Amino acid sequence: MYFLYNIHHEPIPTDIQELILGILPLTSLRVLGNLPRMRDVIRRHLKERVERVLKAFLKDDVDNCLAMMRLTGTVLSGSAALKVVLPDSGPPGDLNFYCPIHKAREAANYFARAAGFARLRLPTITIAVQRTPFNNLDVNNGVRKIYRFKSVYTGQTITLSESISASPPVPIFFFHTSFLMNCVSGRGVICFYPELTEAYTGKAIPYCPEEPR
């Protein structure tokens, strides 16, 4: 679909328009997506952007991964999500997924069956302390368990972290910088600090351990 025109009011070729979309950050895509004629174009482009990031790791299994994410509520974050939000950022070296509490085994089973990936010690980390009504500030960075998988061909790793909450993004808000506070779900993309991220600026999040009682 043509949506850009040159100074002579002639439509710019579709392949050129795709290149333009490919360099726009999520905030700009969101503005364009508010235009009725652009809504489907932006949705398709954003879906393809997510698929490209996943395909670099999962090859031809991207659709199954997205289906698993929708089924379990799992989200993708870290440098891979940043690549979707800000396409000229560096290529991700690994994939970091976050799932709701009690959904880890279901999500982990998918990665264990993914072609070319070997399961490392499962789980590699188990967090004993969980949030209680008497402990509103969690000391475990929002993570209950961590599972890791490694490609037998490339050495690429996939990390699956189980949230201490039914909300999978909880661990994301414990990140050391706002620059990485983005997530991709099976249905959409979220940037929690859009103005800062679009300006290539990150806000440092200081670590504040609980004071001894």
Q: What does the pLDDT look like over 179-202, one tens digit per residue?
A: 999 999 999 999 999 999 999 999
pTM greater than 0.95 (yes/no): no
Residue-averaged pLDDT of the chain: 87
Report all structural domains of the chain as residue ranges with CATH numbers, in order of start: 14-198 (3.30.460.10)
Whether residue 101 contacts residue 162, with contact meaning beta carbons closer than 8 Å, is answered with yes
Summarize pLDDT for 91-139 with one digit per residue, the tens: 999 999 999 999 999 999 999 888 788 888 755 555 544 544 444 444 4
CA atoms of 202 and 72, how far apart (whole Å):
30
> Which residue has 């976050």 as its token pair?
98
Tell me if the bond preceding 123 is cis, omega within 30° of 0: yes
- Closest alpha carbon to 73 in 177, 158, 183: 183
For residue 187, which phi and psi values (nearest 5 degrees)? -130, -5
What would you report as the CA-atom Rg of the chain, rounded to the nearest whole angstrom? 19
Q: Which two tokens stand for residue 176?
A: 């050391």
How far is 158 from 12, CA to CA, in rounded Å? 40
pLDDT of 204 higher than 70? yes
